[in-house]
Structure 1
Amino acid sequence: MTESQAVHLFLGLAVILGLARAMGALARRFGQPAVIGEILTGVLLGPTLFGSQLSGAVFPAEVRPLLNALAGVGVALFMFVVGSELDLGILRGGGRATLWTSLLSTLLPLVLGAALALTLVSSHHEGSSVGFVLFFSVAMSVTAFPVLARIIADRKLANTRIGATALACAAITDLLAWTLLAVVVAIATGERFDWWLTLLVPYVALMVTVVRPLLRRAARTVSEDEQGGRAGNRNFLALVLGGLLVSAAFTEWLGLHYIFGAFLFGAVLPRGTDGTLRDGVLQRVEPLCGLLLLPVYFVLSGLKVDLSRLNASDLGQLAAILVVAVTGKFVGAYVGARIGGLDGRHAAALGALLNTRGLTELVVLGVGLELGLLDAKLYSLMVVMAVTTTALTGPLLSRILPAPTAGAASAGTSTPPEPRTVPARKADATETASR
């Protein structure tokens, strides 16, 4: 790294940190997740308002690869956090409402997304349309579990049936979406499925049957070693970080994407007694990830968004994308919840909650742009969709479940046992969950 690169890198990081914090705080003052302000930071610095002059001066081309590397580490850590917070134990007692809501809130966006993709493929993609249609469908079906957990905690819905059902549905949807995205990436990169299955399936089995028990044994050794103290905890943290980096490297080498390896390693991380093991790791990982590395990713994502040259046709496509995104999730969740036995108001609340997309959508879109499945213009339109649907969640939920009755959101319905995933830690102890 040259002297000039070092100067611009450190100054650029300082700009990102300051503006992201300020815009995140501004977003929260308007009742929005911090991610909204942080994404807008990148958009405002990008070509939409100032062309390439401002972004070129603050983040010159020679520094972009260094920032991209930091952003990649941040996304890997974020996916590790998402995987570690995926607790299938919350599915217990979910019943018909969880099953039908998860199924239809995933299936309907997939179908509507595929139909819309067929009308967009000729103007936004060259070559085989299969990968494009499949990717676009998956991008429409995403729900951001971390943002959803933060909203539920902020509105004190965690111990209500509606809150528990929403968390369970988001967990299932996320798991399905990442699995489908892995398949799409394999198709788009030309990887043969026999090669993919030959290595990936045994790798997943190895992680579950070997790596997870080894991590649990290592954690038990640390907790039982009263003389280990802080050094023992740091050694375990180093083991976890090293493991997730190796896992990310393996899936990248396999031809998928490093986010899947990071997510998988987080998913197999044992919780320990009362969740203290997982929380101890996350409380060390999340601050650096949320304060600096993820804002770098936001800014770089925003710098790729150019809305200055949109014409009437592009605005029409944006409107269609928004209609399909909102309608697919809302109607799918509403119908599924009604079939599952929820009344109309709480079914509508589920539809609003599951429409939030947050950083999860940005990660998916980043993969699509990197693989050439999205061009720059369609990527910009999809980022607008991600920001808009996330921003709409709070106001819609306030109208459906006004503040005086939100605490009684489970009125008229049975309340299941408190879910094992405790959103309070995400809401109060971290900011990564607001993404």
Structure 2
Amino acid sequence: MTVTAAGPVAPLGAHELLVFLLQVGVLLSLAFLLGRAAMRFGMPAIVGELCAGLLIGPSVLAHAAPELSAWLLPQDGARMHLLDAVGQIGVLLLVGITGLYMDLGLVRRRGVTAARISIAGLVVPLGLGVALGFQLPGSLVPGGTDRGTFALFVGVAMGVSAIPVIAKTLMELRLLHRNIGQLTLSAAMVDDIAGWLLLSVVSAMATTGVAAGDIGLSLGWVAVVIAAAFLLRPVVRAGLRATARSRDNGATLALVAILILLSSAATQAMQLEAVFGAFVCGIMINSCGVLNAERIAPLRTVVLSVLAPLFFATAGLRMDLTALADPTVALSGLVVLAVAVVGKFAGAYAGARLSRLGHWESLALGAGMNARGVIEVICAMVGLRLGVLSMEMYTVIVLVAVATSLMAPPLLRWTMARVEHTAEEVLRKEMYEGGPAHRPQSDGAPGRPAEQVAASSRGTAPAAPADQPGHPGESDPGGPPD
């Protein structure tokens, strides 16, 4: 066998580098400006960040200034992949940081509730989406595509929730310390696991058919990831303690980022999607009980202020709203949006009420889980790549993703204003904003131990052990992530 040595890969050309830097600079500038403008109108910054990509994408700039659009955003897969890669790093770190702020004690105590809400919140919109897929006009179904596969793809897209969008919305509205915020993330995690498995099944149907062995393998990999998180926790805890001895936060931040990215790579290799690995890794680091918010604050600031906005801005670049000029597409889009919203609200509400939650709490859960965001965009891109979705249907589904993400913040603010704070939420907020007590981490739960909660309710606060490690949010002068 003859082995031919390949020459070194040429570095990025000067022109390509210039275009890439301009892409990042322009997108980030628009995301920042529109995000601030959205906040002035009482909306979270994510609203403006999602609109940034729409402005310079094919929806606006390509029609207003086609030559500038072709120069700034050339139809070259290699160049667009550079921009996508930066955005992917941002969303993975965002999801990992979200896991760092999960209240594991609440998840354990209300795991059955989260599962019940998630199942109902997935099955109802999935069923409605499949039924709608069989009724949509034939012009939206690509030629040669089986109508059943198309309908299943629409159902999966209607059923998913988006942890990145939900997480950033909860952070910006400062609802992460609320029980509903924690429960929404827990239910969304279960929802996403099921959604990715369903997406893999429907994708298989569109290509080679469904094999029971493939489904079993995917479920087996989920079990492997969870088991690996438990087995590797002592090693991770030792590494975090070693870096925590340094006065410089750099080693700790680097280790956290490395762990999140490698975990993402592992689950991506298992075909379970990278965001799943990032979220599990964040939870694992959280359960180690070594970090406090002061140490991870620089990483959180960079992710929430730079990388995450850039990712959300890139979400609108592949969307062309001019397709809605066709009355059939526009009407179909409104019907799909209505079915998606009603299905998710009805499912989450029913699951919450079955779990004996109140009316406003149930509505708040529906409002949070209704945000599809980039997860639905990914589903749409998979469908477009496999030829299951037409370009018009792709635009409709992405529009639903953006619309539901924009709906979540005002609905959450409205519903949560009618949900009373509990003593547990007050204590958790104090902890996030730098409360004096540090909780022991023997159980991995982010709440203070029962004796500290009881003492706090009596007006006394037992001193925390001097050598007790902190937790994300305990000594954070800036409060929870925003």
Smaller-chain TM-score range? 0.7 to 0.9
Alignment partner, residue 248 of structure 1? 264
Q: What pairs up with 1:314-325 in 2 under 5 angstroms?
A: 314-325=329-340
Task: Work out the percentage of aligned pairs sharing the same amino acid.
Answer: 30
Instruction: Decide which of 97, 105, 110 is 1:89's aligned counterpart.
Output: 105
Q: TM-score when scaled to structure 1?
A: 0.79
Q: Deviations over 1:50-96 (max 9, x none)?
A: 43614222223453232222223223323333444444422355498
Instruction: Tell whether the 8 Å contact from 1:143 to 1:360 is kept in structure 2 after alignment.
Output: yes
Q: Provide the secondary structure at the position in 2 that maps to 1:409.
A: coil
| Higher deviation after alignment, 381-390 or 81-90 | 81-90
User: What is the Cα-based RMSD across aligned positions, in Å?
Assistant: 3.8
Aligned-residue offset at 1:308 = 0.9
Instruction: Tell whether the 8 Å contact from 2:118 to 2:191 is kept in structure 1 after alignment.
Output: no
Structure 2 residue 75 is the aligned partner of structure 1 residue 68 = no
Instruction: Tell whether the 8 Å contact from 2:253 to 2:295 is kept in structure 1 after alignment.
Output: yes
Q: Which amino acid in 2 is paired with 1:286?
A: R
Q: Provide the secondary structure at the position in 1 that maps to 2:42.
A: coil
Alignment partner, residue 58 of structure 1? 72
Structure 2 residue 424 is the aligned partner of structure 1 residue 417 = yes
Instruction: Please tell me whether Structure 1 or Structure 2 has the larger radius of gyration of its CA atoms.
Output: 2
Q: TM-score when scaled to structure 2?
A: 0.72
Instruction: Tell whether the 8 Å contact from 2:236 to 2:285 is kept in structure 1 after alignment.
Output: yes
Instruction: Tell whether the 8 Å contact from 1:143 to 1:170 is kept in structure 2 after alignment.
Output: no
Alignment partner, residue 238 of structure 1? 254
Matched residues in 2 for 1:11 and 1:221: separation?
Answer: 40
Aligned-residue offset at 1:428 = 8.8
Matched residues in 2 for 1:183 and 1:247: separation?
Answer: 22
Q: Deviations over 1:76-127 (max 9, x none)?
A: 3233334444444223554987565444223211221222233349533554
Instruction: Decide which of 360, 380, 384 is 2:395's aligned counterpart.
Output: 380
Q: What pairs up with 1:59-208 in 2 under 5 angstroms?
A: 59-61=73-75, 63-94=79-110, 100-120=116-136, 123-125=140-142, 126-127=144-145, 132-145=150-163, 148=166, 163-185=178-200, 188=203, 194=213, 196-197=217-218, 200-201=221-222, 203-205=224-226, 207-208=228-229
Matched residues in 2 for 1:428 and 1:308: separation?
Answer: 46
Q: Provide the secondary structure at the position in 1 that maps to 2:323.
A: coil
Q: How many residues align?
A: 415
Matched residues in 1 for 2:319 and 2:36: separation?
Answer: 22
Q: Deviations over 1:223-266 (max 9, x none)?
A: 3x4xx332xx4334333333333333333344444334333333
Q: Deviations over 1:344-372 (max 9, x none)?
A: 44443443343234455445545555555
Structure 1 285/379 Cα, relative in aligned 2: closer, same or farther at 3 Å?
farther
Instruction: Tell whether the 8 Å contact from 1:47 to 1:305 is kept in structure 2 after alignment.
Output: yes
Gaps spanning 5+ residues in structure 1: where? Answer: none
Structure 1 259/356 Cα, relative in aligned 2: closer, same or farther at 3 Å?
closer
Instruction: Tell whether the 8 Å contact from 1:89 to 1:420 is kept in structure 2 after alignment.
Output: no
Instruction: Decide which of 34, 37, 59 is 1:48's aligned counterpart.
Output: 59
Instruction: Tell whether the 8 Å contact from 2:95 to 2:278 is kept in structure 1 after alignment.
Output: yes
Q: Deviations over 1:282-337 (max 9, x none)?
A: 53433333333334433433121111132111112111111111111222233334
Matched residues in 1 for 2:303 and 2:229: separation?
Answer: 26
Alignment partner, residue 221 of structure 1? 242
Matched residues in 2 for 1:199 and 1:340: separation?
Answer: 29
Instruction: Tell whether the 8 Å contact from 1:318 to 1:381 is kept in structure 2 after alignment.
Output: yes
Alignment partner, residue 287 of structure 1? 301
Alignment partner, residue 34 of structure 1? 45
Instruction: Tell whether the 8 Å contact from 1:142 to 1:174 is kept in structure 2 after alignment.
Output: no
Structure 1 217/121 Cα, relative in aligned 2: closer, same or farther at 3 Å?
farther
Instruction: Tell whether the 8 Å contact from 2:115 to 2:187 is kept in structure 1 after alignment.
Output: no
Matched residues in 1 for 2:252 and 2:415: separation?
Answer: 45
Structure 2 residue 406 is the aligned partner of structure 1 residue 391 = yes
Aligned-residue offset at 1:171 = 1.4
Gaps spanning 5+ residues in structure 2: where? Answer: 1-11, 434-471
| Higher deviation after alignment, 30-39 or 150-159 | 150-159
Q: Relative to total residues, which structure has the larger helix share, 1 or 2? A: 1
Q: Greater RCO between the two (CA within 8 Å, min separation 6)? A: 1
Structure 2 residue 312 is the aligned partner of structure 1 residue 298 = yes
